[in-house]
């Protein structure tokens, strides 16, 4: 009999205050989901801004610090909100906001304050939805999500683990592409600069990359057949992804905070 391993049993203790990696992936999806749906129907900037700040607090406190996280929070999301907000402000129909104050005028074109309010409200709404998705996206791995779906939502393991195997083809392709590029560089194949040389180089990668993909798919299929994949309706799990009381507390607390934020930003 194989030993059942629970990788979440000591995850919180191992990371101290970084509690998000120790939560069930389904909890990190269920907690922000009502807020994400509610933000779709908001029209002001107060609610998206409040949820954006709440998400920042949760992610900074609960997720392990990394360069990717810092870049996303400090640069990508603010710059995206700024860019999208300006873009939607320019595209807003001026005839609907021409009663507001004029902020900028270039010839016959005028940028009104109402257009800025509409554009940045939309941008903040999109930014808040993306930020809420980062709660689970930054601290959840693909295998853990698949295991949680199979164990708790009864997704057929044939579907879950087949999709997981397909996703794992992507880094494999990247590795093989790098090997092929290095081999071509050593042989001096398709050298030179310019668009013609670029097209020749990339066309030379197609056949060996396709051959490597076929070989890898055959090896994965043989490995899955050797383990009797799909022979039975269910399979035992070596790695458990339990749904613990702390997961229910996190979901309930986030739902309560979301309801409170919607209530306060709507004027009570």
**Domain match, 162 and 49 both:** no
Minimal CA–CA distance to 240: which of 152, 159, 166, 155? 152
Which range, 53-57, 98-102, 147-151, 181-185, has the best average confidence (pLDDT)? 53-57
Overall average pLDDT of the 100-106 stretch: 80
More confident residue, 14 or 110: 110
More confident residue, 181 or 256: 256
**Domain match, 89 and 216 both:** no
Residue with tokens 């609907």: 96
pLDDT band at residue 12 using 50, 70 and 90 as cut-offs: very low
pLDDT band at residue 250 using 50, 70 and 90 as cut-offs: very high
Q: What percent of the chain clears pLDDT 70, i.e. is strictly above it?
A: 91
Neighbours of 77 (CB within 10 A): 20
Give me the number of domains the chain comprises: 2
Query: How high is the pLDDT of residue 198?
Result: 73
pLDDT at 48 over 90: yes
Task: Judge whether 244 and 24 are in contact, CB under 8 Å.
Answer: yes
Report field, pTM of the whole predicted structure over 0.75: yes
Query: How high is the pLDDT of residue 191?
Result: 62
**Domain match, 24 and 114 both:** yes
Neighbours of 231 (CB within 10 A): 8
**Domain match, 25 and 132 both:** yes
Instruction: Indicate whether 149 belongs to any domain.
Output: no
pLDDT at 210 over 60: yes
Opening angle at CA 80, ends 75 and 84, nearest 5? 160
pLDDT band at residue 4 using 50, 70 and 90 as cut-offs: very low
More confident residue, 170 or 137: 137
pLDDT band at residue 83 using 50, 70 and 90 as cut-offs: very high
DSSP string, 224-235: HHHTTTTSSS--
Percentage helix, strand, coil for the chain under 3-state DSSP, each rounded to 5: 70, 5, 25
> Going by C-beta distance under 8 Å and a sequence separation of 6 or more, which residues neighbour residue 238?
2, 3, 4, 5
**Domain match, 198 and 78 both:** no
Instruction: Encode pLDDT of 224-237 as tens digits.
Output: 888 888 777 777 77
**Domain match, 17 and 126 both:** yes
Instruction: Indicate whether 23 belongs to any domain.
Output: yes
Instruction: Indicate whether 59 belongs to any domain.
Output: yes
Neighbours of 28 (CB within 10 A): 28
Helix (H) or strand (E) holding 106: strand 102-106
Task: Judge whether 146 and 112 are in contact, CB under 8 Å.
Answer: no
Range of the domain at 190: 157-226
pLDDT at 262 over 70: yes
């Amino acid at each position: 009999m194989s030993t059942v391993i629970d990788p979440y049993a000591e995850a919180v203790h191992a990371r101290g205050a970084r509690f998000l990696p120790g939560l069930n992936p389904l909890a990190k999806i269920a907690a922000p989901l009502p807020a994400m749906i509610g933000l779709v129907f908001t029209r002001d900037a107060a609610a998206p801004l409040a949820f954006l700040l709440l998400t920042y607090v949760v992610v900074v406190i609960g997720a392990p610090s990394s360069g990717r996280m810092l870049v996303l929070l400090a640069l990508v999301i603010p710059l995206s909100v700024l860019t999208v907000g300006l873009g939607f402000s320019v595209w807003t129909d001026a005839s609907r906001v021409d009663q507001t104050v004029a902020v900028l005028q270039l010839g016959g074109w005028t940028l009104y304050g109402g257009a800025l309010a509409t554009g940045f409200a939309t941008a903040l709404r999109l930014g808040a939805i993306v930020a809420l998705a980062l709660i689970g996206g930054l601290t959840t791995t693909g295998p853990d999500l698949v295991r949680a779906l199979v164990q708790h939502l009864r997704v057929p393991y044939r579907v879950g683990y087949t999709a997981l195997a397909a996703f794992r083809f992507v880094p494999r392709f990247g590795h093989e592409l790098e090997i092929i590029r290095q081999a071509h560089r050593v042989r001096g194949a398709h050298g030179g600069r310019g668009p013609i040389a670029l097209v020749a180089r990339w066309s030379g990668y197609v056949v060996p990359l396709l051959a490597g993909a076929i070989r890898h798919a055959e090896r994965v299929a043989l490995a899955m057949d050797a383990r009797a994949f799909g022979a039975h309706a269910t399979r035992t799990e070596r790695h458990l992804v339990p749904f613990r009381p702390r997961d229910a507390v996190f979901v309930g607390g986030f739902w309560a905070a979301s309801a409170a934020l919607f209530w306060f930003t709507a004027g009570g």
